[in-house]
Chain A
């Protein structure tokens, strides 16, 4: 069949070009917005910047050039020489007047920066050209071995991607980049918690729809191959980052994290050791995964390493699995023991196992053009390191009474006596300033004054994230597919302008229909083989769907098909086809036939051919449709080869047909 075999794969040039354009345009928009915001804020800061005090040599006191009647200012220590940023932060502290914030604990820093970087990497990976085909090439095949209910959920989510591949792929880039920058930019406070929550939300979306619940319901589940799904680990990290500051110092947090990590590793060890799952034999899924990964496009050395490891597993599957089980179990028990030496050893063992598995089994997860993330080992390692750090912080020596609070690694402004003095807290007898009611202008001014690079980055990151969220949400609710898919498969709709050739044929119930009798209506004309097994039923459904999209305007449209089989064109065959496709329920559908000479003439007039194929082949014919306006002029020609015949491609063709009909109605 001409045109059959056209695929909408990851290499479709039209889709890739559209994806690149979308990323470029949106990226330019982001840069522009950042630039404008940055310019505005710098300008406002410059306008509002207080004049620096002049220090005279005789008095050693600051003076603005006139005698100051205020003894309080003279009593305050002089401001240290500081840049604009520091002075603004000082001003912010004066305005806020609150207690110093909790310093960010190391475990949270590890998680925030580690997962922030991972989100950024994931966002950059998502920008690979092949990602427009992610739903059909990766997401749906990934869920193939999961139960039917999981597949239906994945299919529902993947529909958004397949219906709007460019929009969805671009959205995923910005959402992930945005979350990553957000986490990296903001260290504490509600903004930082919000970044964690954003990570939870998007991680859950990816875990459910992109990873089919981490494939936990499919056979062959193993920690070594990615269980319970990398995205779920991002969710856990996000939830920990979203914890309020008062939870950071909780004594139980570290214990729970350590115990949870230990239980997780023990559970994975039990899973790995479970008999009858194939991991104890040479043909284990590990060998299969390593072999499959070695065939991915990647540096030759890495491919060779993967291949060698696959052979080792194939030959010594029992030993390899035994090592994995022992390491996982021992590490889990070590973490559960809560003894420092054992915890340290367990941490080292886990990190080593993660590193080895990341390279040899998971093949780093980034190669092949369709790698969406570095897989699960790095997130696991980060979480366990964070758990150990949290436990360590919990086990730190108690602080004797009266000792000043320890300084943090954060800004010297916070939590230090010098900083407090700089902030003016010890000025005037040391009473902290009480917050007072401010007008909206003062609040706005305060907000503008306190914005620094980090705040700008956080706001920008939120903007980047929203740049992805809104279009993705729109794509999820819009069930009419992007006509770009049809364009990518079959090229653009061809505008025409010639008089439609007349025909006079009969319907299945013997009624004569001519083109002239359809004058005054827009005609969508095609040629269908009533005993076709593939394309023609799909084209009929495209017509039906287009009719639905036209809505009330469909009463001005006639859907006409002419029989396209030199052997099977009887009225019975047409009726059987109409019943099969439900077209007998479409009021403006007409399937026409006639004598073979009449049909051949109609085919010839519309540049259509239908050829019998020997030895059991379907009739060879093209998949074409014409749009004829109400004056009988052919306005458009469309190639309707259904391609992969997914619901997305079908919906896209229907959109294309409906759009062409509407354009013809307006002409």
Chain B
């Protein structure tokens, strides 16, 4: 490399700086480099620290169970355990009566890797013959290229199914489908609520989320979304959702196209927090059980029935845990499973007793998915593995779990997608 001749090039360091054009060009190059850095740094996800956003309210889950009189019960849970979402399949298990074995009753004919919602028509909480298998209506949450929800109805506890159809897509929530005693169905879809005629046919749009949110009742709640549907007394549709306005429970009763708030006053401890209705179940005609989440911190149960106003329970602190599943039993019993293997159950207080209190259960077995609330104080848990479901029974003393039945599920891995 030759040495520059003195006088010919008088750089003194930065070449060409004595020339304005070169300075402009190098300045431009510097700006380009800066722009490059900005673009790169803008894409690195390492932005300035933001203020921590408040945790969202507890979200409803599709994992759920319902126990009827004499121990008949059904449960919905997910098996597969595959990282690919389309390789996890939802199953419906049915127990015809307490002490009987659980069996697989998933309706055939549709891929259910998008989710499964079930409901019992009539009066699941009413007394009846011990051998009565529960009537069931199941709805498939659409997945992949399917945009509407096939339905299936069984009168013999899932041994035989009759197909039906919801022309829209069901929402993925345990209380997204409800059956009235007159054979009508109400369904929560991704955009609103649909109501059928008798037998689950002739579906019509009842109300959209947007319309309900814009109504006076919706505005006073600050409705942000719907989470559950049910039939109230006299078969009137009931809708429930998440409110952004604190101090309001978003349960709406409709009549003649008008909607009014019909939920309980939230517990005092929910003050200042938005309330979400996590589950709404009709346990008998005119009798409702609701689970309310105050922010993501606490849970409370509420009951309505027999012409009485709503009553609410004591709080169940979530302690930073998330809801895994909910359960409803005869007589208004309710239960929840939370992350960390924790669970609790509650029974409505009788008479003028103090607010009902939650009873914590012993640490759950691994992979516990559903709580099943049997007659009396029977409690069992369904634990879901990759291709198996194991039942665990709580001892009479309520101190430990004992394994029971183990079902093998023929999960159809790779059958769709």
Question: A271 near B15 (CB under 8 angstroms)?
Answer: no
Name the one of B111, B142, B148 contacting A616, with C-beta atoms under 8 angstroms.
B111
Q: Which residues of chain B come closer than 8 Å to A619, judged between CB atoms?
A: 109
Question: A580 near B147 (CB under 8 angstroms)?
Answer: yes
Question: Chain A 590-632 against B: per-residue CB contact (8 Å), 1 yes, 0 no?
Answer: 0000000000000000000000111111111000000000000
- Least distance between B10 CB and chain A CB atoms (Å): 11
Check: B40 CB closer than 8 A to any chain A CB: yes
Question: B411 near A615 (CB under 8 angstroms)?
Answer: yes
- Chain B interface: which of A250-258, A366-374, A427-435? A250-258
Q: Which residues of chain B come closer than 8 Å to A277, judged between CB atoms?
A: 41, 44, 46
Q: Which residues of chain B come closer than 8 Å to A566, judged between CB atoms?
A: 109
Bound Cα distance A344, B142 (Å) = 66
Bound Cα distance A211, B30 (Å) = 24
Check: A263 CB closer than 8 A to any chain B CB: yes
- Least distance between B83 CB and chain A CB atoms (Å): 17
- Least distance between A619 CB and chain B CB atoms (Å): 6
Contacting residues of chain A (138-152) with chain B, CB-CB under 8 angstroms = 145-147
- Least distance between B396 CB and chain A CB atoms (Å): 33
Given A263-B30, A617-B89, A534 and B414 contact (CB-CB distance below 8 Å)? no
Question: Chain A 509-548 against B: per-residue CB contact (8 Å), 1 yes, 0 no?
Answer: 0000000000000000000000111100110000000000
Q: Which residue of A lies closest to B140 (CB)?
A: A531
Question: A531 near B110 (CB under 8 angstroms)?
Answer: yes
Check: B8 CB closer than 8 A to any chain A CB: yes
Check: B3 CB closer than 8 A to any chain A CB: yes
Given A397-B5, A568-B163, A534 and B417 contact (CB-CB distance below 8 Å)? yes
Bound Cα distance A580, B167 (Å) = 10
Question: A618 near B110 (CB under 8 angstroms)?
Answer: yes
Check: A218 CB closer than 8 A to any chain B CB: yes
Q: Which residues of chain B come closer than 8 Å to A219, judged between CB atoms?
A: 40, 43-45
Question: B106 near A614 (CB under 8 angstroms)?
Answer: yes
Question: A259 near B26 (CB under 8 angstroms)?
Answer: yes
Question: Chain A 268-293 against B: per-residue CB contact (8 Å), 1 yes, 0 no?
Answer: 00110011111000000000000000
Question: B111 near A617 (CB under 8 angstroms)?
Answer: yes
Name the one of B33, B79, B147, B410 contacting A614, with C-beta atoms under 8 angstroms.
B410
Bound Cα distance A114, B286 (Å) = 85
Q: Which residues of chain B come closer than 8 Å to A260, judged between CB atoms?
A: 29
Q: Which residues of chain B come closer than 8 Å to A570, judged between CB atoms?
A: 163, 165
Q: Which residues of chain B come closer than 8 Å to A567, judged between CB atoms?
A: 107-110, 161, 163
Bound Cα distance A202, B173 (Å) = 53
Question: A538 near B145 (CB under 8 angstroms)?
Answer: yes
Bound Cα distance A647, B237 (Å) = 44
Majority DSSP secondary structure for residues of B touching A = loop
Bound Cα distance A566, B107 (Å) = 13
Check: A216 CB closer than 8 A to any chain B CB: yes
Q: Which residues of chain A come closer than 8 Å to B140, judged between CB atoms?
A: 531
Q: Which residues of chain A come closer than 8 Å to B45, judged between CB atoms?
A: 219
Question: Chain B 257-280 against A: per-residue CB contact (8 Å), 1 yes, 0 no?
Answer: 000000000000000000000000
Contacting residues of chain A (95-122) with chain B, CB-CB under 8 angstroms = none
Bound Cα distance A4, B416 (Å) = 8
Q: Which residues of chain A come closer than 8 Å to B148, judged between CB atoms?
A: 576, 580
Check: A340 CB closer than 8 A to any chain B CB: yes
Bound Cα distance A426, B113 (Å) = 90
Q: Which residues of chain B come closer than 8 Å to A275, judged between CB atoms?
A: 46
Q: Which residue of A lies closest to B114 (CB)?
A: A533
Bound Cα distance A613, B89 (Å) = 12
Check: A301 CB closer than 8 A to any chain B CB: no
Q: Which residues of chain B come closer than 8 Å to A573, judged between CB atoms?
A: 150, 163, 165
Check: B4 CB closer than 8 A to any chain A CB: yes
- Least distance between B91 CB and chain A CB atoms (Å): 6
Check: B143 CB closer than 8 A to any chain A CB: yes
Q: Which residues of chain A come closer than 8 Å to B90, judged between CB atoms?
A: 616
Check: B82 CB closer than 8 A to any chain A CB: no
Contacting residues of chain B (161-183) with chain A, CB-CB under 8 angstroms = 161, 163, 165, 167
Majority DSSP secondary structure for residues of A touching B = loop
Question: A531 near B2 (CB under 8 angstroms)?
Answer: no
Query: What is the total number of residues of chain A having a CB less than 8 Å from a CB of chain B?
Result: 70
Question: B39 near A216 (CB under 8 angstroms)?
Answer: yes
Question: B5 near A537 (CB under 8 angstroms)?
Answer: no
Q: Which residues of chain B come closer than 8 Å to A395, judged between CB atoms?
A: 2-5, 8-9
Q: Which residues of chain B come closer than 8 Å to A270, judged between CB atoms?
A: 33, 37
Q: Which residues of chain B come closer than 8 Å to A1, judged between CB atoms?
A: 415-416
Question: B411 near A532 (CB under 8 angstroms)?
Answer: no
Q: Which residues of chain A come closer than 8 Å to B416, judged between CB atoms?
A: 1, 533-534, 617-618
Check: B126 CB closer than 8 A to any chain A CB: no
Check: A267 CB closer than 8 A to any chain B CB: yes
Question: A616 near B112 (CB under 8 angstroms)?
Answer: yes
Bound Cα distance A5, B415 (Å) = 10
Bound Cα distance A344, B1 (Å) = 8
Check: B144 CB closer than 8 A to any chain A CB: yes
Bound Cα distance A534, B414 (Å) = 12
Check: A71 CB closer than 8 A to any chain B CB: no
Bound Cα distance A619, B412 (Å) = 11
Check: B409 CB closer than 8 A to any chain A CB: yes
- Least distance between A341 CB and chain B CB atoms (Å): 9
Q: Which residue of B lies closest to A396 (CB)?
A: B2
Check: A420 CB closer than 8 A to any chain B CB: no
Check: A264 CB closer than 8 A to any chain B CB: yes
Question: B113 near A616 (CB under 8 angstroms)?
Answer: yes
Question: B13 near A616 (CB under 8 angstroms)?
Answer: no
Q: Which residue of B lies closest to A270 (CB)?
A: B37
Q: Which residues of chain A come closer than 8 Å to B37, judged between CB atoms?
A: 267, 270-271, 274
Given A219-B43, A388-B1, A395-B9, A531 and B16 contact (CB-CB distance below 8 Å)? no
Q: Which residues of chain A come closer than 8 Å to B13, judged between CB atoms?
A: 337-339
Bound Cα distance A482, B108 (Å) = 38
- Least distance between A190 CB and chain B CB atoms (Å): 27
Bound Cα distance A538, B111 (Å) = 16
Given A274-B37, A277-B46, A338-B14, A614 and B108 contact (CB-CB distance below 8 Å)? yes
Question: A615 near B410 (CB under 8 angstroms)?
Answer: yes
Name the one of B26, B146, B414 contacting A580, with C-beta atoms under 8 angstroms.
B146
Q: Which residues of chain B come closer than 8 Å to A531, judged between CB atoms?
A: 109-110, 140, 146, 150
Check: B36 CB closer than 8 A to any chain A CB: yes
Check: B193 CB closer than 8 A to any chain A CB: no
Bound Cα distance A396, B26 (Å) = 24
Given A216-B39, A568-B150, A568-B163, A617 and B412 contact (CB-CB distance below 8 Å)? yes
Given A216-B40, A613-B415, A340 and B4 contact (CB-CB distance below 8 Å)? yes
Contacting residues of chain B (214-273) with chain A, CB-CB under 8 angstroms = none
Q: Which residues of chain B come closer than 8 Å to A616, judged between CB atoms?
A: 89-91, 106, 110-113, 116, 411-412
Question: B415 near A568 (CB under 8 angstroms)?
Answer: no
- Least distance between A106 CB and chain B CB atoms (Å): 12
Residue picked from B90, B108, B167, B409, most chain A C-beta under 10 Å: B108
Q: Which residues of chain B come closer than 8 Å to A271, judged between CB atoms?
A: 36-37, 40
- Least distance between B73 CB and chain A CB atoms (Å): 19
Check: A159 CB closer than 8 A to any chain B CB: no
Check: A137 CB closer than 8 A to any chain B CB: no
Check: B366 CB closer than 8 A to any chain A CB: no
Contacting residues of chain A (215-234) with chain B, CB-CB under 8 angstroms = 216-221, 227-228
A-B pairs with beta carbons under 8 Å apart, 13 shown: A1-B415, A147-B43, A221-B43, A221-B44, A259-B15, A259-B22, A260-B29, A267-B37, A271-B37, A274-B44, A398-B8, A615-B106, A616-B113
The 8 closest A-B pairs by CB, nearest first: A617-B412, A567-B109, A267-B33, A276-B46, A616-B89, A616-B112, A221-B40, A618-B111
Q: A218-B43, A259-B29, A565-B109 are in contact. List 19 more A-B contacts (CB 8 A).
A: A219-B44, A252-B22, A267-B37, A270-B33, A274-B41, A274-B44, A336-B15, A340-B3, A343-B1, A391-B15, A395-B9, A534-B145, A534-B416, A568-B150, A572-B165, A580-B145, A615-B104, A616-B113, A616-B412
Residues of B within 8 A of A (CB): 1-5, 8-9, 11, 13-16, 22, 25-26, 29-30, 33-34, 36-37, 39-41, 43-46, 79, 89-91, 104, 106-114, 116, 140, 142-148, 150, 161, 163, 165, 167, 201, 409-412, 414-417
